Structure formats: structure tokens, C-alpha cells
Structure 1
Amino acid sequence: TLITAAAGTTVGWTSPTLPILLAPDSPIVTSPDQSSWIASIMILCSAASPIPAAYLADRIGTKKTLLLASVPYIIGWILVMFAGNVPTIYASRLISGLGYGIAYTTAPMYLGEIASDDVRGAMATLITVMSKFGILSQYCIGPYVSMLGLASFNIAIPILFVVTFSTMPESPYYYIKQGQKQEAEASLKKLRGRSYVRDELESMNNLVSENMKEKGRWKDLFYVGGNRKGLIILMGIYFTQQFCGSTAIISYAQQIFGAAEGGLGAEESCILFGTVQLLTSAMSSQLVDRLGRKPLLLISSCGVGLANVIIGAYFFMKHQNSEYLVSLKFIPIVVIPIFIFSYTIGLATVPFAITSEIFPTNIKSKATCVIQIFVALMTFAVTKLYQVVADNLGNYVAFWGFGALSVLGVIFILLQLPETKGQSFAAIQEKLYSPNKVVYEKDEDEMARVKITL
């Protein structure tokens, strides 16, 4: 998951860097419109890489594909080191976006396939934990070093990923799909160590054999009922994840805290903000397999919705020069961390767990690819439009809009999302693809049984 820490650095980098670029003594003269493109163009470009990433994951395996993701990051930071104008920064962000798309397409697949059923959710949420670590590193280091210094730190992360991840085994599911049974067994033994059980390998073999009876086609995502249902569920969740305003706050954190004038410096506020993100994502990784996916997402969506309304009200009073504002300057410092806690406990982490487990083997890479393209376009829209709305209509309009969309997300999750906590891939697929209601339970002796309601 170090590769997602590298992704986090590319997202968080704009927060300390844009104020430097927009300052009167900027080393690279940058307009506000150019700054919004610097923040958003990386995510837009990330929409171009999920299709080749999905193809490569099927052809050469998820491990090698993840290793390839490090190359665009390294090139991107080298360009930042030598940047002397805005077009060079654009180029660095475009290239980094390719790595971002590959990483977020492939990492959920790899982690979902190597993890056992009881820890799969926690493993998948590590994507977010490491991403938040990357973001926090930018908040802690960025304001106090030059652009060259920050880029030098950032380039070390993908290099370290290549060195460490090279020792990891390929997914056993990939070997099984390729008919390499001995390699699959060796991979699973390395992953499980002493807890290796041959029955798990047989279960993988049976599931892949069943899934691969028919070759997954792109149109099957939309014409097969279970695939279509899974796609709609994930698109709804990821739409809520992006349009609750999370990406805008992360990308423009230092500017938002500066505009809020909450009594704490913008740089210090960002460090507080990033620390809450990291600690909460670590907490979520422990809760996702205990409380379940759906409860965490509902708590998260309600929390960000309420926080957006309060933050919007604060900015509205600031816009109106309200006399009450002096006594309410604590609101940004209190409510924005509450927003981040609420967002990170569910919306930031749980969707990756669901992505890793909801689709059959024969269609998983294609489904993940479509989801990542959708997420990239939504993230670009939020990142680009936030600056436009905030500049022309006011910050309060943007936050109230985020609040309204968060409420819609609560309704969608409540009505559409099934619970998948602790269930095998086979059980989850039965739930989505069977017209009957199938519930997998364990008794006190850990014996599995199936309850079917016709």
C-alpha cells in the first residue's frame, strides 16, 4: 500500500504548494485559474489509465501492474524538481495522474484477493490509511520547505515501494486463472504462513472455475443483473464520497483554513486536519470488519452532511459580516476536523473494501476499471468546480451544495447497499446474483450454515 501513499502525496501536494505559486513573490507566476487546473488535471488524467491497468492486471498480474504504477510518479516528481513554468507543472500532474489511476484500479483488486475473509475489509481500508499518510506528509513538510525539497521527499516513496513490494507474491487468483496451480499454492502458503489451509486453495479454485466458465465481457457489466446492481451500488457510494466535498477540502485545505480565519494558522490547521484523517482511517480499518460496511457508511454520510451545513452557515455569516462571527471563530477548527473524522471513518475507507469483494473474478478487473474512471471524472468535477463556485458564488454555496448531496447519499446507502461483513466472495455473489435472499451465518462452533428466504 505504499503506492497509495505515493498517490496521497500527489493529492496533498497542492495544499501547501498553491499558496506559494499564488503569492506575489511566487517562483512560478500562477493565476487562480491555472491553480485550479494544477489541482484538478492530475485527477482528470487518471481517468485514462484504468482501462490499460485492467488489461495489464489480467495479462501480467496485479503485482507487476502495481509496480508499473510507480514509474509515472517518479517521472512526475522529477519534472516538478526542474519546473520553471506552469506548463511543466501541468505535465508533471498529467503523468502522475496515470500512476494514480493504475494504483487505485489495481490495489483494491490485489488486496481483496490476497486477504482472508475475516480481514479483507481491514486490508482494503489500508489503501486509505496509507493515502492519508501521504497527504499528512505534505501538510507537515510542504509549508516549511521549497518545492524542490518537497518533491525530493515525495520521489522517495514510489522508489521505496518498488524495493519493498518486489518481494511480495503475486495474487493466487491470478495464478489460478492462468492454470498455474503450483504457483498459486506457493503464493497462498507465503501469504498465510502457518495458517495456510489447503481447503482455502480448493475454494479459490472452485470459485475461479465457476466464474471463468464464461469470459467476462464489457457489456456483461450492464446486461448481467448482478453486475449491473454492483456497479450502481458502487457508483452511488463513490458519488457520495466525492460530492460530500472531501476532495475539495483536501486539495484546497490551506486556502480554506486561511479564508475561514478560525484563530489557528492555516499551516497548523492543515496538520491538525491531516492527523485526524490518518488516525480515523486507522480506526476505520479496525471497525470495518466488526461493525460492518453499511453502518459505517451511514454514520459517515450523516456526519459530513451536518458538518457541511454548519461550515456553510459560518461562511455565510462571514460573507454577511455578521456581528456574531467574532464569537464563532472556533467553528472551522472544530467542525472541519469533525467533517474529516466523519468522512474518513466510512466514505474514505469502506468503498475500497466493497470494490474488492463485490464482483466475480471474470469481470472484476473491468468493473474496477469503470469505477475508477467514474471516480476520476467525479473527483475532477469537484476539484475544478469548487474553486469556480467559491470565487463566484461564495464558499457557503459550495458547502451547502455538498451538504445536500450528502443527504441524498444517506438515502441511497440506506436503500441500496447490502451488508458484506465477514462473508466469502461466494456468499456475496450469491446475495447479488441470486433472486433469493441468501444469508451466510456462523454458529458458536464456527460452523457455516446457509439460510435462504424464498
Structure 2
Amino acid sequence: MIGLGAADVWTSPALPHLKSNESEMKISPVEASWVASLLHVGAIFGYFLYPYMMDSIGRKYTLLFLCIPQIASWITTILARDVYTLYASRTIGGLGYCAACAVQGIYICEISSKNIRGILLLFSEVNYQIGTLMLLIIGALCSYKHMNLSMLLAPLLFLLTFIFMPDTPHYYLKKGNDKQALESISRLRGTKNIKILEPEIVKIKNAIIEGQESNENAIRQLFVNKRYRRALLIVLIANATKGLSGSFVIGTYTEQIFTDSGFTLAPEYSTIIVAVVKIIAGLIGSQLIEYVGRRVLYLYSGIVGSFSLVVVGLFFFLKLYLKIDDLSAIGWLPLFGLASFQIVSAASLNPIPVVLILELFPTEVKSLASAIAFIVFELFVFFITFIFNGFNEIVGIYTTFWIYAAVCITGTYTIFCITPETKGKTLEEIQELLD
């Protein structure tokens, strides 16, 4: 997740350099849009790939295998001397990082107990924010070349540490390997007491058997089964909201937005401030999710997030449409608005759609359902990232932010109304709530 955070926000310091005279391969605005958005095209290929790998070689070895395109992506970026090589590196990186993000979510969901599942899933979002902060600090202090070299450490460190972790009990039981499933859950729960572990093993096994009996065709059942249909509708709306409310495109173009606002603090340092507050927000959100629940946290985050986007849009409306020259008295508004929006994004708006994907579907259709939801998300993010600059020229950046605000409040309220509360429920109990 640290590597994914770095890859996602890499464009923020990289694009200003690549468009400057200092770059060996000065790129045009259109080429910059492709560089920014192709990560999400690669992600779509990764989402098609990982469900088959995950169920054939396991969650653990799929995650280890996906380090290969991650490493290849950074090496290609380091060696790139033309924009087409950068296109390739971004696409490869999207495949490796985004598919791994989906698999690690399923891995965490299957190894964790119900009382800490939400905390662990949101903490993975905190690590994503740590990755963005690391990249932004290195980008501000180091050269473009050294920034790229440093990012090779993330996948290499993962390879050296994760290889010692067990696969999930769900995977072993699905393959009929009860002995390894027991060894895995014994290690994960920190006990060898069979009496404590056996009820959980039995619950997982029964859920897998029930699913296999009723879901011979996962694709068909995903749309025929009433529970799965409702769950799919929820996660598609949540991921459309996440993709179209602007969090990821704002992260991509943060430095450019601050430059356009004319804020007195240097853009690269403004982005670091936003990244720091996002980490703090993620830590707070990881605690609140099991205290106030998913629905309430998501709704209030949507209200605060939409208000923040309206505020940023208002500043640009005054500056660019009404052409008010002296806005020094409210020059802090862009930083305040973007920081507030990214706080609620890190605490709830971005991670909770992932939590819903991983909690609302049983094991037998989880990989397929998550792949569909993630592909929908990436298509939306690719679209709004690619059109960001051109759309702003047509309607004004203030209109763009107001559209993001409308999507944010509408989507979060809809999810609040149609989604059951999953706090403190086992994955098996959640299925009953979907009836």
C-alpha cells in the first residue's frame, strides 16, 4: 500500500518537472494527461487477472508475484528517455499495484477477526497515505532521478518480509487442506488450542460449502442471487462515488491546483501538509470505524467533504470568473478546503467502499465482485483524470469542484440509505443482513 500511494501521487511532483525545460523529455499537456491516467488503465488489466491467480495459487503467492510488475514499473521509469516508455511504466505499475491492493484487502479480510477487521482495513489506507507523504517529501527534496530510485525499495521490502507470512485459512479450506488451514489460523490467532480455533474453522468451512453448493456459476449467481445483487449495487454506487468525487484526480494534480490558486506557500510544501493531515485522518478513521460504524462515518464524511469542495470551488470562482484581484484575505481557502476534503477521504470516503466490497460478499464470489467494482472505479478515475485539464478550460475549475461536491453528497447519502451496518458482524452474519 505504501508503494501504491507513491505510484498514485508520483505525477504531482513528476509532471511539473517533465513539463519544464530541465527535463530530458519535455512533454505536452496532452501527454501529461496520458501519463497521469494510464496507471488506471493498467489497473483494469490487473483486476481482470488477479481473481484467477488468487484462487489458483493463493492470496500469498499472488501478492508476491505482483511485485514483479511493480519493480519493473519503477525500473522502466528510471530508464525512460521518451514519453512512450513512461506510458508503459505507468500501465505496468497500475497492473501490479492496483491488483495487489485488491488482493491484500481480501487477504486482510480473511485473516482478521470480526472485532478488528475494519481497523486493519482502514490502517491499510493509512499506509497508502504514508506512501504518498514519502513520495512528496522525496520529490520536494531530491532530484527526479533519485525520487524514482527510492521508490524501488517498497516492493523489494515487501518481498523480503511477506514471504514469511501464511496464506489465509479460507484459501486452504477451499482447497480441502484442513491441516494447513488449522496451522494458518493457529499462527494468526496466536494459540494452538483446538477448542478455541475449531468453531471458527467450522464456520468458515460451512460458509465455503454452502457457497460452493449454491454458486456453481459465480458470474450468473452474482446477478441472480438477491443478496449478491444488492451487495453489488451498493459497492458499485460506493465506488462510482469514490471515483467521481475527485479525491484521486486532486491527488494527481495537487501541485498544479495550488499553483493555479496563487497560494503563498510553495506548491510542493502545500502538498506535503495535505499528505500529513491525511495520515492523521486515516489513523483517526481506523479507530472510529469500529466505534460509530461504517454508515454514519461515511455519511458525515460525505457532508464535510462536499462542503470542502464547494469552498475550493468558490475561491476559484471569485478568482477566475469574477476576476477579483486581491484575495489575500482568503488565500488560505484552497489549502483549508483541499486538506479538509482529503482528511475525510482518508478517514472514510476512500477506504469504506473497499471495506464494503470485502465484507458484503462471501468467499466464493468475493474475487469476481471486487474485480467488477474496482474496474468500474478505475474507469471513472481514468476518465476524470484524463479530462481534468481540458474540462477546466471549458467550464472553469470551480465548476469541476462543484460537480465533485454534488457527487460526493449524493453518493454518500445513497449508500447510507441502502447499506446495512456491518460493524461487529462476522462475514457470515453480514450475508443474512442482505436479505
Q: TM-score normalized by structure 2? A: 0.96
Shift of 1:111: 0.6
Q: Does 2:139 match 1:142?
A: yes
Where does residue 383 of structure 1 map in the other structure?
Answer: 385
Q: Does 2:382 match 1:400?
A: no
Where does residue 294 of structure 1 map in the other structure?
Answer: 295
Q: Which runs of 4+ in 1 moved over 4 A?
A: none
Q: Distance in 2 between matches of 1:125 and 1:70?
A: 22
Tell me, yes or no, if the aligned pair for 1:53 and 1:106 is still in contact at 8 Å. Answer: yes
Where does residue 206 of structure 2 map in the other structure?
Answer: 206
Shift of 1:26: 2.3
Tell me, yes or no, if the aligned pair for 1:247 and 1:382 is still in contact at 8 Å. Answer: no
Q: Does 2:92 match 1:95?
A: yes
The C-alpha deviation readout for 1:75-133, integer Å capped at 9, x for no partner, is 01101111111111111001111112311221111110000010111111122111111
The C-alpha deviation readout for 1:10-59, integer Å capped at 9, x for no partner, is 10110000000111332211001111110101112210121220011111
- Secondary structure in 2 aligned to 1:149? helix
- Secondary structure in 2 aligned to 1:139? helix
Where does residue 191 of structure 1 map in the other structure?
Answer: 188
Q: Does 2:8 match 1:11?
A: yes
Where does residue 54 of structure 2 map in the other structure?
Answer: 57
Where does residue 360 of structure 2 map in the other structure?
Answer: 358
The C-alpha deviation readout for 1:289-316, integer Å capped at 9, x for no partner, is 1111001110111111111111001001
Shift of 1:195: 8.4
Where does residue 151 of structure 2 map in the other structure?
Answer: 154
- Secondary structure in 2 aligned to 1:321? coil
Q: Distance in 2 between matches of 1:139 and 1:177?
A: 42
RMSD: 1.4
Structure 2: which 5+ residue stretches go unaligned? Answer: none
Q: Distance in 1 between matches of 2:410 and 2:301?
A: 13
Tell me, yes or no, if the aligned pair for 1:108 and 1:355 is still in contact at 8 Å. Answer: no
Mapping of 1:307-326 within 5 angstroms? 307-319=308-320, 320-323=322-325, 325-326=327-328
The one-letter amino acid paired with 1:298 is: L
Q: Distance in 1 between matches of 2:268 and 2:139?
A: 9
Q: Distance in 2 between matches of 1:324 and 1:80?
A: 41
Q: Distance in 1 between matches of 2:121 and 2:222?
A: 22
Tell me, yes or no, if the aligned pair for 2:126 and 2:346 is still in contact at 8 Å. Answer: no
Work out the number of aligned pairs and report it.
430
Q: Distance in 2 between matches of 1:328 and 1:94?
A: 40
Where does residue 74 of structure 2 map in the other structure?
Answer: 77
**CA distance 1:138–1:52, change in 2 (3 Å):** same
Question: What fraction of aligned residue pairs are identical, expressed as a percent?
Answer: 31
Shift of 1:371: 1.1
**CA distance 1:352–1:389, change in 2 (3 Å):** same
Q: TM-score normalized by structure 1? A: 0.92
Tell me, yes or no, if the aligned pair for 2:50 and 2:62 is still in contact at 8 Å. Answer: yes
Structure with the higher helix share, 1 or 2: 2
The one-letter amino acid paired with 1:158 is: P
Q: 2:426 aligns with which of 418, 424, 427?
A: 424
- Segment drifting more, 200-209 vs 104-113: 200-209
The C-alpha deviation readout for 1:205-227, integer Å capped at 9, x for no partner, is 22222222232421221121111
Shift of 1:393: 2.6
The one-letter amino acid paired with 2:350 is: A
